Structure 1
């Protein structure tokens, strides 16, 4: 039985907007209050999925979360119909509007941490939704994430979907953006590499931006998934965090036995220890990008490491492909480095393919942010809800749905209109019908 990596991308919702809510996410802050294009964003995301599908990779998707999240506003003391609540909040507490309309759940790399069945103690694929407690607009996501994962991966014979960790700063968890699985074969036991920004000894006064992932959260997830004894823990460098690496996937990406990372990504002592553990566990292949060739600033601006590192056409880790944002091509130092990289026979990355996800990039997420990776055996893949696995026809259907229901332009002030709520609900209702999900969204169940 073969095992393959399946990328489940977050389908971008009709609420895609630039509200600049994520402190430490430089792109998000830079584009705050700008006019977005939900239609372009969703179509760009779907075209990326189509690109990977046509290259021969297995591709799935996760549906957008319900926005606005009126349930949150009800918990905050607002009452009435959904339309009335939006009107009240717009008048009385307008700062809450962007929070409940946040588009951030589109970045599926933050949805959960995943352990494949080859690694777990019970032979099932394990998912833990990220609690995302560092920021208010993301902390509201995990309940819907859990329900989504329980829908897509419903068969308990093969899948175990846990609840998020306790919503406390001590257990702050940002999902797979800070985790990668290293292995020589998807179907063989691998090593979970958990990268964290802070632990109990971290001096927070030396951090300009929040260190979002904690060691205790990473340890709890490894324990929950039954892989604590084999897990490797590695600390981000304060230098990287202070330049804008709010997640590890801004400065590193791994797949198979390969870890592609920036020279200044990790704390030196932690890196030395973690790499020694990785060398003992697998034929580990680190590919380090020198700061003299690509500065941290250029790496973060271009999102070089938020590329998808994939197996080559032959399915091996000896000739790998990097799916990079077009911003890498447009950055002179990064483009020059990538040209040198693919010509270097001492490392396995042999091809770079550029994709346009500019709408997502403008909000602080590149190609890798948009996907959750899940290693699945053929049997497990057959147990996945089939409506969430993509082919050309399904991509065409989703693109047509986007073209009908999404605005070409959306300004932050538009979120205050109850009419926009109706637009979103109509789009979500049509999507649930398209996917044969019944009353998937909460507003449907209340009718």
Structure 2
């Protein structure tokens, strides 16, 4: 049965703003308080989805969250009408209002961890929503994320959904941003690669000193158990604490994998040789030929990698077996990175082509092409069982661009978040979006 990997990209929400909420994310912090353009951000993301669809890749859409999150503000003691709750928060605790307005759900690489049916104990595709408990503004996402994923992948015969792990530091889980799968073919059993920043209980693993390690070993192990993964189909690897302290808050900022290939920076991991050997051995037993492409620090330093988001790219398989790398415009603007990429694609190796996309609005808030997509490997039967309303087509692209033009603001500053009208605009837009994507009632304002 033919299988493929579908990229479900996050649709940027109407409250896209630069709140500087993500400590450890250099771009998020450095662009804090600047004026954002939600309409441009959404249209840039949609343009990438359309381009990949036109290249022949199956492309999906993942809806944004309702923001401001009034229920979260009420749970923190603000009361009255929705408008009064927003106004009180703006007056008494503006940072909490900013957090409740975050559009960070656009980076759906953090939405969940996904294991294809070829890997799992019951032959279903498994989803575990990420608790994202390292950052308050992201920790409030997973209830809606679970409902949206449930509406997209509703057939219990083919799809299994797990609740987020306990919302405590020991089980910090950031989803697919720290998870990659290697396989000979998307429909065959593969090796799932979990990358963690620290261990909650085992002091043998060193931890970063400046920025928090968001993914724990224990969280990765728990997800593997929930999905029923075989021990010989899993590899755990630790991120280099030094690169976390340099701004590599997720593994997808320093490495990306696809098929049988891992593209990574020389300083990405601890115990790299041991890790590569384990990946090669386990994939080899499944008939695969694991290959790695190491980017030397002498050619591209960690700082250049973080600023350009070279590794926060999409590594895609062409029909002829070659690979395509989708990178942000910032890679072309970085002389060292662009020189490396030109040499990479001209060498006749695995990666034959690089395509550049303008994702400035997302990049300024700390998320590139890889952050914007959740990968789901599906066979033909499973793909047919996915809610068809979320699969990108030319008519859907046209409808969504018209929807964005109708509902989104051209400019948004922190002071605008205190405007109760923004909540009404967001709810009106999302109510219409759920009809466009055929999701049903997934948002709190639709349910309560």
Kept after mapping to 2: 8 A contact 1:23/1:209:
yes
Compute the displacement of 1:205 (Å).
Answer: 7.0
Compute the displacement of 1:444 (Å).
Answer: 2.5
- Matched residue, 1:104: 104
Alignment counterpart, residue 399 of structure 1, candidates 394, 398, 401: 401
Q: How far apart are the structure 2 equivalents of 1:86 and 1:232?
A: 45
**Which runs of 5 or more residues in structure 1 are unaligned?**
none
TM-score, length-normalised on structure 1? 0.96
Moved more, 64-73 or 202-211: 202-211
Q: Alpha carbons of 1:422 and 1:210: their partners in 2 closer, same or farther (altered >3 Å)? A: same
- Matched residue, 1:114: 114
Q: How far apart are the structure 2 equivalents of 1:175 and 1:348?
A: 27
SS in 2 for 1:342: helix
Compute the displacement of 1:202 (Å).
Answer: 6.0
- Matched residue, 1:161: 161
Alignment counterpart, residue 356 of structure 2, candidates 354, 357, 363: 354
Q: How far apart are the structure 2 equivalents of 1:221 and 1:182?
A: 17
RMSD: 1.2
Off by >4 Å, runs of 4+ in structure 1:
202-206
Moved more, 69-78 or 184-193: 69-78
Q: How far apart are the structure 1 equivalents of 2:51 and 2:377?
A: 20
Compute the displacement of 1:79 (Å).
Answer: 2.3
- Matched residue, 1:11: 11
- Matched residue, 2:343: 340
- Matched residue, 1:294: 300
- Matched residue, 1:65: 65
Matched, 1:261 2:267: no
Kept after mapping to 1: 8 A contact 2:128/2:162:
yes
Moved more, 235-244 or 199-208: 199-208
Matched, 1:311 2:311: no
TM-score, length-normalised on structure 2? 0.96
- Matched residue, 1:428: 430
Q: How far apart are the structure 2 equivalents of 1:121 and 1:33?
A: 47
SS in 2 for 1:306: coil
Kept after mapping to 1: 8 A contact 2:261/2:290:
yes
Matched, 1:237 2:240: yes
- Matched residue, 2:192: 192
Compute the displacement of 1:104 (Å).
Answer: 0.7
Matched, 1:273 2:274: yes
Kept after mapping to 2: 8 A contact 1:56/1:313:
no
Q: How far apart are the structure 2 equivalents of 1:297 and 1:342?
A: 22
Compute the displacement of 1:429 (Å).
Answer: 1.8
SS in 2 for 1:304: coil
Kept after mapping to 1: 8 A contact 2:389/2:436:
no
Alignment counterpart, residue 368 of structure 2, candidates 341, 366, 369: 366
Compute the displacement of 1:164 (Å).
Answer: 0.5
